[in-house]
Amino acid sequence: MTLLVQNVSKQFFKNMKVLKDLSFQLEKGECVGIVGESGSGKSTLARVLLGLEPYQQGLITFNGNVIPPKKPTQLRQFRKKVQMIFQDSSNTLNPKLPIWKSVTEPLDNYKEVTPSFIQLKGLSKKNVAEKLLQSVGLEKQLAYRNPGSLSGGQKQRVNIARAISIEPELLICDEPTASLDVMLQVQILHLLKDLQKRSNMAILFISHDLRAVTFICQRVIVLKKGVMVDQFNIKDLYQKERHPYTKALIQAAQTE
C-alpha cells in the first residue's frame, strides 16, 4: 500500500486556499499523525484523501491510482481498501438497525472479502458480528442492541469494528477520540494501536491533540493554516530543529 500526496492544494472559494502545496507519503503498516490547531485544514485533507472533496492542484495516488477514482469500479475498490472513522460516533450508526446489522454491513457490500481474523465458513452473520465486536473489546451480547442504548465509547468501538471488518489497507481516523472522556480516549488509542499491530494496516491519525498523536504514531506531520510546517519521526519530537509552531504545540500539550 502506498498513499502518495504530491504538491496538493485545495481552495473552497477563489481566494480561500485551505491546503497549500502538501506533499507526503504513507506506506503499508505505518501510522502517521496529522496535527494542527482548529482550522488548519485537517478534516479537509481527510475528505480530499477520501475522494469526497476535489482538489485544484497536485496529485494524490493510492497504490498508483489517481484519487478521486473516476470509474465506479475503481471507486468500489478504493472504498474497500480505505476506511474512515469520524469524530462523532453518534450519527454514524443507523438508529433503527441492531448493532449486528450495522457492523456486518461492509461485509455485505463486499461479499468477496473474507477477513483473515475470523473464520467465516459456517458462521452466521450474527456470529460474525459477535466476533467483530469481541475483536474491539466489546461483549458479544451488544450485537442485539440498538445504537441508542450504547455509550459514546461503545459506539466508537462499533464504528471501528465496522471499519476494520473488511480489513482495509488504510484507516483514516479524523479526531476519533475527541468526543470521548479522557479514560475512553486512552482506551480507544490502545485499541487502534493494538489493531494496527495485529493487521499491519496503515493509519492516518488526524488530531489537534499532540499527545494522542505521539502515543499512537511513528511519524507526525504538522499543519498550520494549510501548510505543512514540520514532519518528523516521533523519536525526534524534542529535537531543537523542530518548527516553532511544533514547539508551541508541545508546550501547550504539556501545560494542558
CB closer to ligand ATP out of 12 and 117: 12
Over the window 32 to 71, marking each residue x when it contacts ligand ATP by CB under 6 A and - when it does not, the resulting string is ----x-xxxxxxx---------------------------
Footprint (CB under 6 A) of ligand ATP, residues 206-235? 208
Q: Which is nearer to ligand ATP, 16 or 183 (CB)?
A: 16
- Least separation in angstroms between CB 87 and ligand ATP: 8
- Residue 88 found at the interface with ligand ATP (CB under 6 A): no
Query: How many residues does this entry show for the chain?
Result: 256
Nearer to ligand ATP by Cβ, of 150 and 188: the residue is 188
**Residue 95, helix vs strand vs coil:** coil
* Signed CA dihedral, 117, 120, 122, 126: sign only: positive
Around Cβ 255, how many Cβ atoms within 10 Å? 6
Grid coordinates representing 178? 475527541
Total of residues contacting ligand ATP (CB under 6 A): 11
From 1-9, 31-39, 93-101, 248-256, give the range in contact with ligand ATP by CB under 6 A: 31-39
Q: Please, what is the minimum distance in Å from the beta carbon of residue 243 to ligand ATP? A: 17
Residue 236 gets which letter from DSSP? G
CB of 68 to ligand ATP, least distance (A): 16
Taking the CA atoms of 241, 246, 248 and 251 in sequence, report the sign of the dihedral they define.
Answer: negative
User: Residue 44 Cβ, how far from ligand ATP at the closest point, in Å?
Assistant: 3
Number of H helices, E strands in the chain: 8, 10
> How far, CA to CA in Å, does 62 sit from each of 59, 137, 165, 170?
10, 31, 20, 10
Decide if residue 18 touches ligand ATP (CB under 6 A). yes
22 binds ligand ATP (CB under 6 A): no
* Torsion sign across C-alpha atoms 215, 34, 85, 64: negative
Indicate whether 20 belongs to the interface with ligand ATP (CB under 6 A).
no
Measured from the CB of residue 256, what is the shortest distance to ligand ATP in angstroms? 16
Contact 200, 193 (CB under 8 A): no
Q: Which helix (H) or strand (E) holds 164?
A: helix 152-164
Give contact residues for ligand ATP (rule: CB under 6 A).
12, 18, 36, 38-44, 208
